[in-house]
Amino acid sequence: MITVTRVEPRQRVVREPRVKVSARPLTRVRDADAAHPWALPILLLLLPMFGQTFYYLVEFPIPYALSKGWPFVVLPLSLYALFVYHLPYKALFALLLAYTIGVAPLLGMIYFGNGLIDLLTTTIKIRPFTYYFGFAALLAWLRPSAQTITTRLHHPGRRTYILMWVLWLVVPLDWYISDPALGKLLMFEYGRGYRASTCRCCSA
């Protein structure tokens, strides 16, 4: 007698890949909800300093003096961002700062006999270059939302630009001055004509 036994096909065992589970708790990514509650007022208050709005306006002595010393006020923020944050073109900015603030004035002292006062005065226009780091640290601390930056912060800039054109159109010509030591908000220059400006980089 012949007995036929049915043999089931051997099933293939599929093993799931091992997933390594870290014992450290995951840190939730901070989003717009984690923004500083006073982010917008603080930015609106400090943007004129970072934007050099009063950097040349001697008509306003207190904001003018504060604007000149603002690079030193935010120096801790600039140094913190320089050594901690991974910013775009960080090495390039650091190299340019080292040359313009350190190497170039030192060469002036060696080859042209400039003194310490000359060294400090020649770097006045270069110091705001440090705002690249200082403002980055401020944004990292305040963590404003993308909507705050793209919408609400644009309005003061537009209003300032419109205000400059309004002043240029309606202010009487006898209000303009030619001596930059007396003021630079409303100036008349032979080569540039009548202009109203908050700084040399934005004039109408």
For residue 171, what are the contacts with CB-CB under 8 A and spacing of at least 6? 186, 196
DSSP 171: S
Domain boundary residue, one of 152, 171, 190: 152
- The structural domain count of the chain equals 2
Q: 139 is in which domain, residue-wise?
A: 36-152
For residue 79, what are the contacts with CB-CB under 8 A and spacing of at least 6? 133
Please give the Cα distance from 68 to 192 (Å, whole number): 25
153 neighbors 43 (Cβ within 8 angstroms): yes
Residues 109 and 185 in one domain: no
DSSP 89: T
pTM above 0.75, yes or no: no
Residues 108 and 174 in one domain: no
Residues 139 and 186 in one domain: no
Closest CA to 176 of 194, 201, 199, 203: 194
Residues 57 and 117 in one domain: yes
Residues 70 and 49 in one domain: yes
Residue by residue, pLDDT tens for the chain (204 residues) are 455 455 455 555 555 555 443 444 333 444 445 778 888 899 999 999 998 888 888 888 999 999 999 999 999 999 999 999 999 999 999 998 888 888 888 888 888 777 777 777 777 888 888 999 999 999 999 998 888 888 787 888 888 889 888 888 898 988 888 888 888 888 888 888 888 776 544 444
Residues 94 and 158 in one domain: no
* 188 DSSP β-pair partners: 194
Residues 169 and 100 in one domain: no
Per-residue tokens: 151: 């919408």
Residues 185 and 112 in one domain: no
